[in-house]
Structure 1
């Protein structure tokens, strides 16, 4: 799954990267511990025009009476996304890209402790995580929520965790955003070997209240299972 990530790119840089129209609701400032229910910067496309906008991390199905009427849906599994009633309409028509420097994942050490890792692209470029989004409204309350699409872990992630977010390469952004026809399902796969790199980080990130650049700083040592 993907339950935390970091993003330090300013909105202006994301606008340039995605060639998007800026919105006025995009979160500002470097964020080293983005958590579910917080606002995230996402790119959507409407009639071929990309928009950088703020979305709430947490997909709310249309039938929820309140945003907390059921489980908090922060991830959507690629293998079942087209079949699940909560997601199947969104994956056909409301796909988005969520920018990140990298994401956190946990494995279990020899003493049973949960050990956090920070995962980035091996080439150092920002990530564009595949997402889906949906508007929800009840009794005057309105929000637009999103979920990150996940898939089986590729060879770089498998020693740490069995799932990873779907990462979309720049050449495939038009396809995922629905700008270049059909076939986005083929993008919902793990990355090949040597595409990602990961390092152990301190347990401070285990708290969803933690902030600061030190959260994703590497420890002196760290190998999966250590």
Structure 2
């Protein structure tokens, strides 16, 4: 799963990353871009990328935790992850999976490994470049919200956690955001990007959402 992530790429650099995504012919970001963040948690605001029929990418602030259109309030666990195995059928996600697929950009994320000395957080990143996660979006309660797809872990990351965000390879992005539900379902498998992931022990202070600074990414 992914319950905390890092996005320090901001400003024009983030807009350039979005503009460089396959199939994107322009970028609109009416809310601007967020400041660097090092400990983003569910229910907080995150940048969501949605590509329209004209290939324009819209970068907007969204609540991390999906709010389906039938939700009457924000009570209950935040739907910040959607399991690939059930996303097409589960009532919370099936409508969004059919027609509201987007992208979340990350510089890295945190995962916790249970050890004899307690839980040790790890910071996980791509070898080079940003991570592009498959996401869904909704507008329940008149708010833009999003969730991140997860799959069973790839062989490379199973030692750390049994789940893994669905990070898309460059040649999968257009299929995810613009393909039919059947075409999108073809991508619901452990990420092909997993072999490019690298990890390091992180500072245990990342466990508190009040802490948000660059030093969290390293235990040293």
Q: Same fold (TM over 0.5)?
A: yes
Once the 2 structures are TM-superposed, how far is the Cα of residue 195 of structure 1 from its aligned partner?
Answer: 2.2
Gaps of 5+ in 1: 220-226
Partner of 2:131: 127
Partner of 2:23: none
Partner of 2:160: 160
Higher helix content, 1 or 2: 2
Contact residue 9 and residue 36 of structure 2 kept, 8 A: yes
Partner of 2:174: 174
Contact residue 99 and residue 181 of structure 2 kept, 8 A: no
Answering whether residue 205 of structure 2 is matched by residue 207 of structure 1, we say: no
- Runs of 4+, deviation exceeding 4 Å: 179-182
Once the 2 structures are TM-superposed, how far is the Cα of residue 179 of structure 1 from its aligned partner?
Answer: 5.8
Deviations 1:138-186 (A, max 9, x none): xxxx211100000001122100100010001222211111168951222
Partner of 2:217: 216
C-alpha change, 1:158 and 1:6, in structure 2 (3 Å) is same
Partner of 2:84: 78
Please give the root-mean-square deviation of Cα atoms over the aligned residues, in Å. Answer: 1.8
Cα distance in 2, alignment partners of residues 26 and 66 from structure 1: 28
Taking the TM superposition and a 5 Å limit, the aligned residue runs for 1:1-226 are: 1-19=1-19, 20-47=26-53, 48-68=55-75, 70-111=76-117, 113-122=118-127, 124-137=128-141, 142-178=142-178, 183-192=183-192, 194-219=195-220
Deviations 1:84-112 (A, max 9, x none): 0110110111011101001100010113x
Contact residue 45 and residue 179 of structure 1 kept, 8 A: no
Aligned length in residues: 212
Partner of 1:222: none
Cα distance in 2, alignment partners of residues 92 and 181 from structure 1: 5
Cα distance in 1, alignment partners of residues 196 and 43 from structure 2: 29
Gaps of 5+ in 2: 20-25
Cα distance in 2, alignment partners of residues 14 and 6 from structure 1: 13
Which TM-score applies when normalising by structure 1? 0.88
